[in-house]
Structure 1
Amino acid sequence: MSINGNGNAEFYSHQSDTGDTEGNDTTPLLSNGVQRSRARGASFASSVFNLMNAIMGSGILGLAYAMASTGIVGFCILLILVSSLAAYSIHLLLKLCDLTGINSYEELGGRALQKPGKVLVGIAIVIQNVGAMSSYLFILKSELPSAIAGFLSPDQSREAWFEDGRLLLIIVTLCVVLPLAILPKIGFLGYTSSLAFFFMLYFTIVVVVKKWSIPCPLPKNSTTSLGAYQVSNSSDLECTPRLFILSSRSAYAIPTMAFSFLCHTAVLPIYCELDRPTKTRMQKVTNVGIGLSFLVYLVSALFGYLTFYAHVESELLLGYDAYLPRDVMVTTVRLAILISVLLTVPLIHFPARKAVILLLRGDRPFSWLIHVAATVLILGVVLLLAIFVPDIRNVFGVVGSTTSSCLLFVFPGLFYLKISRQPFPSFDFIGALSLVVFGLIMGVISFSIIIFTWIQSSE
């Protein structure tokens, strides 16, 4: 099983002793330094499906806000740029995989930069997965009260204990997430990750359909139906989509996109799974998977923005509460997203805990005490972040501008420059160098603006 930073799991078959059927001699893959041959059996279509599961996560809920912060054309340009660079950085990882025979992101870091490289990648994966888990628990905190209230009458849900999202989050974490995460093996939950993609498609369909259910200018308040809304005095300008926007909020756009397209820790295991695994064939899987994810992201962000315009919430589903209370489609999509989140958090926790234990204890034998302590510690940190972080865009912004940019842009380019030793005039040398420079510049600028915005807000 392979689990990416967005919290999706992919399963790959047992290793086969046979080689490629296309007649290509490739370097045998290594797992933790042990040589093994590539796995066979996964079709092109199933590999695309696996990669899309790896790509699509909680970031889809923040892309409409990113469009409201950059404008439609600005968002499209940035989305094309980030998705193209993501595909190119995967191209570099695949070349390194064939060159070294390594199928682990951490091991590539070790090959490129020795132990510091392995530690850097491990830390980045821990922070990335902690950020992803925090974003998922944040969704539970914000959406679970509304989901419960949607199945009850207004009198039952008014001032009820379950309206406190933080209390619900603590209960769900202790009763559901912790017991699942503390298990030494949790492979059966990986099969549920295949539902995540269908949930994302359903989410996109609901966003498109509900575009025509909410009038513009947006209602100021409501009672129980659209007919009872009081329309605000907003001008028609509020209902005019903007093509380009540049503000302090725009600093969250690229980090959110980087967070949304990060699948690089899952790419190499999917490569191992692919039938007739060649770099060209896996690159086609990557291009198709990223292309389809791009379309889903673009459609959901566009119609989410055209529904709320400048009033888009940083977590899109929150915007429907005031205008479509107890709507059946919104309630069902909220429930689908919550089920996906609830089952995904334990899966994201596994690689984070593995990386923490590896960084602290190396390859020492399994210890239940260390296992339980690491589980409780990580979930405790994630729970505190989800409770006290006031806005999910902060998770997308900080994690996206730091670890996501490193795993997506900086590390693939840097590792390629260190391992391949390509001459300067070559296209991949220039491309890898550009990835490193772009990732560093984007990360530093975005993170600096986000911190500056926090300071201004506190003052």
Structure 2
Amino acid sequence: MEASWGSFNAERGWYVSVQQPEEAEAEELSPLLSNELHRQRSPGVSFGLSVFNLMNAIMGSGILGLAYVLANTGVFGFSFLLLTVALLASYSVHLLLSMCIQTAVTSYEDLGLFAFGLPGKLVVAGTIIIQNIGAMSSYLLIIKTELPAAIAEFLTGDYSRYWYLDGQTLLIIICVGIVFPLALLPKIGFLGYTSSLSFFFMMFFALVSAYALPTMAFSFLCHTSILPIYCELQSPSKKRMQNVTNTAIALSFLIYFISALFGYLTFYDKVESELLKGYSKYLSHDVVVMTVKLCILFAVLLTVPLIHFPARKAVTMMFFSNFPFSWIRHFLITLALNIIIVLLAIYVPDIRNVFGVVGASTSTCLIFIFPGLFYLKLSREDFLSWKKLGAFVLLIFGILVGNFSLALIIFDWINK
């Protein structure tokens, strides 16, 4: 039987039931709990904005590597793999939401706590931190590499010495002026409007653009943002959040497939591991291409603040779960994350390294291994039930994909 929905304070891990507000009000509430109860009575984030936020979490720089995957696997192989990963990602979200209902928490980290105690919580939090830092740094790496080239294509003459064509300078300015202020917002729902812009930019890229499983796993990872979005959803329920997820994954699948197919048909065997490099190399002064490059870079940029939320929450729950919320700590953690990802973006030379390692390890854990493992541990259903068998398949699939992909990446590094 499903438990009643309630709100969860991400900073402290408190669960507040909304079915018994009178009892909650009868007790002496702390300021944080009072604020949380007031937030729960607010209208919440609409279905549409929640879909845009989740799509923004899904569609980041992964879209730039899928044409390369298609070129190496073929159209039919690519279609089968992409559909398989999309369906498994949707099913793993279904398991996560089921466990949240059963345990009455809405935190990935606390699911690890319920399943395996404090070690489980620390492992999940650490995995989320590593994955999100890897993802954000890969997005900023694209900004640093491609934005100066995109700006230069609009200019004539030699402007190579100017600051606005220096990747590192632009990266720092963008992080200080855009990423950091957006990442400081108190609620993830506030980013719904910027996420909608990101979606339309991605669609524009898919229509104009004329390591397989790790890249796909990286491309469909939204699980660290699922539960924060769930908390702020208007009229929250498991079914409504599952509909948000299914809609976001279906639309993302469509855009991924179109962009990968058209990107491949544009360059064929000359597809680069990062698609924008191909446009810079072969279509450097096409006005439409120059415009779409700026759009895709802006869309990638708007994904970074969204990923800050689960990363910051994981850091908070790992080190400060017993402390009340503090704006000073909120600010300092966000600043520290910003500094780390900027440094990684400056010094990581090849985006495929980030895609491969992060996708093969932390992404497969968060999408496949943890949801399957936690459900097997927490659910009281018979092992032969469909859900438990599905969770077992998800777990085995994640272990095989993660280990096989990491082995291939290491073998490739040794050969080089």
Larger displacement relative to structure 2 (265-274 or 443-452): 265-274
SS of equivalent residue, structure 2 residue 65: helix
Aligned counterpart, 2:364: 405
SS of equivalent residue, structure 1 residue 204: helix
* Deviation (angstroms), 1:175: 5.4
| Alpha-carbon contact 1:207-1:303 (below 8 Å) kept | yes
TM-score (norm 2): 0.84
Equivalent of 2:122 in 119, 144, 151: 119
* Partner amino acid, structure 1, of 2:373: L
Larger displacement relative to structure 2 (197-206 or 417-426): 417-426
Larger displacement relative to structure 2 (268-277 or 117-126): 268-277
Separation in structure 1 between the aligned mates of residue 206 and residue 379 of structure 2, nearest angstrom: 41
Aligned counterpart, 1:201: 203
Separation in structure 2 between the aligned mates of residue 286 and residue 339 of structure 1, nearest angstrom: 23
Report Cα offsets for 1:253-298 as digits up to 9, x if no partner: 1111111111123333444555665544443443333222111111
* Partner amino acid, structure 1, of 2:14: G
Aligned counterpart, 1:287: 246
SS of equivalent residue, structure 2 residue 345: helix
Separation in structure 2 between the aligned mates of residue 369 and residue 285 of structure 1, nearest angstrom: 33
Query: Structure 1 residues 42 and 160, CA, compared in 2 at 3 Å: closer, same or farther?
Result: closer
| Alpha-carbon contact 2:5-2:236 (below 8 Å) kept | no
Aligned counterpart, 2:170: 168
| Alpha-carbon contact 1:28-1:35 (below 8 Å) kept | no
Separation in structure 2 between the aligned mates of residue 165 and residue 397 of structure 1, nearest angstrom: 24
Aligned counterpart, 2:349: 390
Aligned counterpart, 1:35: 16
Separation in structure 2 between the aligned mates of residue 173 and residue 324 of structure 1, nearest angstrom: 28
**How many correspondences in the alignment?**
390
* Deviation (angstroms), 1:197: 0.6
**Residue pairs, 1:331-370, within 5 angstroms:** 331-365=290-324
* Partner amino acid, structure 2, of 1:404: S
Equivalent of 1:304 in 252, 258, 263: 263
Q: Which structure shows the higher helix fraction? A: 2
**Residue pairs, 1:117-156, within 5 angstroms:** 117-153=120-156, 155-156=157-158
* Deviation (angstroms), 1:167: 4.2
Report Cα offsets for 1:100-119 as digits up to 9, x if no partner: 22222112111111111111
SS of equivalent residue, structure 1 residue 34: strand
Separation in structure 2 between the aligned mates of residue 185 and residue 49 of structure 1, nearest angstrom: 15
| Alpha-carbon contact 2:60-2:303 (below 8 Å) kept | no
Identity value in percent: 59
Separation in structure 2 between the aligned mates of residue 286 and residue 185 of structure 1, nearest angstrom: 19
| Alpha-carbon contact 1:145-1:164 (below 8 Å) kept | yes
* Partner amino acid, structure 2, of 1:437: I
Tell me which structure has the larger Cα radius of gyration. 1
| Alpha-carbon contact 2:15-2:104 (below 8 Å) kept | no
| Alpha-carbon contact 2:137-2:341 (below 8 Å) kept | yes
Aligned counterpart, 2:84: 81
Separation in structure 2 between the aligned mates of residue 190 and residue 279 of structure 1, nearest angstrom: 20
| Alpha-carbon contact 1:180-1:186 (below 8 Å) kept | no
| Alpha-carbon contact 1:181-1:350 (below 8 Å) kept | yes
Aligned: 1:454 with 2:410? no
Aligned counterpart, 1:314: 273
Aligned counterpart, 1:264: 223
Query: Structure 1 residues 98 and 388, CA, compared in 2 at 3 Å: closer, same or farther?
Result: same
* Deviation (angstroms), 1:162: 4.5
Structure 2 unaligned blocks of 5 or more? 19-39
Separation in structure 1 between the aligned mates of residue 134 and residue 375 of structure 2, nearest angstrom: 26
| Alpha-carbon contact 2:369-2:394 (below 8 Å) kept | yes
| Alpha-carbon contact 2:58-2:252 (below 8 Å) kept | yes
Query: Structure 1 residues 82 and 361, CA, compared in 2 at 3 Å: closer, same or farther?
Result: same
Query: Structure 1 residues 366 and 89, CA, compared in 2 at 3 Å: closer, same or farther?
Result: closer
Separation in structure 2 between the aligned mates of residue 390 and residue 302 of structure 1, nearest angstrom: 27
Separation in structure 1 between the aligned mates of residue 411 and residue 239 of structure 2, nearest angstrom: 44
Separation in structure 2 between the aligned mates of residue 257 and residue 263 of structure 1, nearest angstrom: 12
Separation in structure 2 between the aligned mates of residue 371 and residue 280 of structure 1, nearest angstrom: 32
